[in-house]
Amino acid sequence: MLVERAIAPSRQRAQAMIMAGKILVNNLPVDKAGHLISKNDSIVVKGKDIPFVSRGGLKLEAALQALELNLDGLICLD
């Protein structure tokens, strides 16, 4: 339902958001990806969703900005 409503770009990201405790259905936290949601249920995302697979991406982004590194056009391996 999160992908269907364009709240998450993929099922994997939806599952990660649920496991992180970011999804509320009818103002109650959802703790399982298999939680049944109806079309009339209210879905809210707590806080900002991060654009990376994990919080490590936020640390890497901060380091690149602090060091003023531009990686455009480069292939990088983490």
| DSSP secondary structure of 7-65 | SSSSHHHHHHHHHTT-EEETTEE---TT----TTS-EEE-SPPPSSSSTHHHHHHHHHH
* Domains assigned to the chain: 11-66 (3.10.290)
Asked whether 41 and 23 are in contact (CB, 8 A), the reply is: no
pTM listed for this prediction: 0.60
Q: pLDDT per residue over 5-41, tens digit each?
A: 888 888 888 888 898 889 999 999 998 888 888 889 9
Beta strands 28-29 and 43-45: pairing type?
unpaired
At 64, is the pLDDT very low, low, confident or very high (cuts 50, 70, 90)?
Answer: very high
Q: Please tell me the distance from the alpha carbon of residue 35 to that of residue 20, in angstroms, as a whole number.
A: 15
